[in-house]
Structure 1
Amino acid sequence: MGDFGRISVHNALGGGPGLSHFISSHFDFADILLWRNYYGGGAVLIGSSILWFLFEKGGYNIIAFIANNLLLLVVILFLWAKSASLLNRPLPPIPELDISEETVLIAADEMQVWVNHVFSLAHAIAVDGNLKALMLVVSSLWLISYIGSFFNFLTLIYIGVLFSLSVPFLYDMFQSQVDGKLIVVHKILLPVLRKADIVFKMIPSVQYKQKKNQ
């Protein structure tokens, strides 16, 4: 693989079309994940670490924590607005929050892609009897269940944040070396994958049996 065959990690994290690109253009998530925005990456890392420590080690309840903070925020804004009207001070600087129709349409398009993909997998398993799709879904769900048995949901989210802030950054730095190793692994696994594909094709599908019986 030459340099012309490499992908841009920055574009893969939000440079393409769709909702990810729309969000990235406004919040620069790609720069945060790749640590090009040091303040944003540091804020995400420190904030997630503090929240994980409070809820996991400190024993705080996440629902009570969110409710108490929202209650405090609402009371502060209310008192601020009342005192501002009495003392001729500026009102709280709260921006106009409005979701545009373009944002809703982009989100709906992205959701449609994922929902159609799930439906296609369900159709391939339940109707076509696709053994390969079944094995892929079963192995993925088993892996998620196995990993989740070692951690609770909050710790899994925190681990996901740590991986999101480290894996893309390291891959962007050592992309050529990682791609070289992946090519070697792919060449080793390719014969095994081809043999497995032949075995899967030898197993007749449910739909084929139904047509044959008809």
Structure 2
Amino acid sequence: MANDTSSDSDNEIIGARVKLFGHEKPIHQVLGGGKVADILLWRDRNLSAALLGGMTVIWFLFEIVEYNFVTLLCHISITTMLVLFIWSTAADIFKWKPPQIPDIILQESFFQSLAYILHRRFNQLLPMLLHISCGIDLPIFLLNIVSLYIFSVIGSYFSFVNLLYIGFLCVHTLPIVYERYEEEINNWVSDIIIVLRKNYRSFKKNYLNRIPRGPVKPKKTQ
């Protein structure tokens, strides 16, 4: 009978396959389904590549060249103004077309979409963290504690700019990797969770259940 119970528990664990983020929608809809999602999933390859190149240049200037932010901003402004001045002057002399400054460089909808995604993800993440912190699913709780500790150790070896750039690379590359290899990643995560749950049940059976506990007092009814 005990073996049957253990077998049923193992089958229950193995059958509990998970889907990363617990979503049934395509990753494009999970990311908001707008322009930001297109950029993160490289649907607009030119814009995604330009954003990656721009962030790489910024990281290089701050981390490798060790530019100060105010100094860099001033130098960029000076260079831009000099280029526009030379272009405008040459246009008057040689009858060229003068520089056209766009009224809007980035659309307002881009920032609205980005803010909406961040707001929705935060509202989903916070209840999830509170749920995990209550210890309802102890293996997931321990996995998050260990993961956060590993991240804290890794963070001590990198500067803030490097961490921002690494975070940007993760945000800019992991969604498209997950979209292409969704089934393989879900199976890999499921296997890890299954192993953790098995080990936890074994630990609970061999150690936690042997801890003596006092008698449970019946609740008083009014």
TM-score, length-scaled by structure 1:
0.55
* Residue 154 (structure 1) aligned with residue 161 (structure 2): yes
Please tell me the residue identity of whatever aligns with 2:30.
A
CA contact (8 A) 1:77 1:92 kept: no
1:69 Cα deviation from its structure 2 partner: 2.9
Distance 1:113 1:6 in 2: 16
* Residue 9 (structure 1) aligned with residue 27 (structure 2): yes
Name 1:165's counterpart in structure 2.
172
Question: 1:82-139: CA deviations, max 9, x gaps?
Answer: xxxxxxx999645379989xx6xx969x7699589869989xx9xxxx678xx77865
Name 1:29's counterpart in structure 2.
36
Alpha carbons of structure 1 residues 147 and 63: separation in structure 2 relative to 1, 3 Å: farther
CA contact (8 A) 1:10 1:31 kept: yes
Q: Of the two, which has the highest radius of gyration?
A: 2
- Aligned positions, number: 176
* Residue 176 (structure 1) aligned with residue 194 (structure 2): no
Alpha carbons of structure 1 residues 92 and 194: separation in structure 2 relative to 1, 3 Å: farther
Map of 1:9-158 to 2, 5 A cutoff?
9-15=27-33, 25=34, 28-70=35-77, 93=101, 95=103, 114=122, 142-158=149-165
CA contact (8 A) 1:52 1:155 kept: yes
CA contact (8 A) 2:40 2:172 kept: yes
Please tell me the residue identity of whatever aligns with 2:163.
L
Distance 1:186 1:159 in 2: 26
Distance 2:189 2:128 in 1: 29
Identity of matched residues, %: 28
| Larger relative contact order, structure 1 or 2 (CA cutoff 8 Å, min sep 6) | 2
Across the aligned residues of Structure 1 and Structure 2, the Cα RMSD in angstroms comes to: 5.0
Map of 1:179-198 to 2, 5 A cutoff?
179-192=186-199
1:12 Cα deviation from its structure 2 partner: 1.4
CA contact (8 A) 2:59 2:161 kept: yes
Alpha carbons of structure 1 residues 42 and 178: separation in structure 2 relative to 1, 3 Å: same
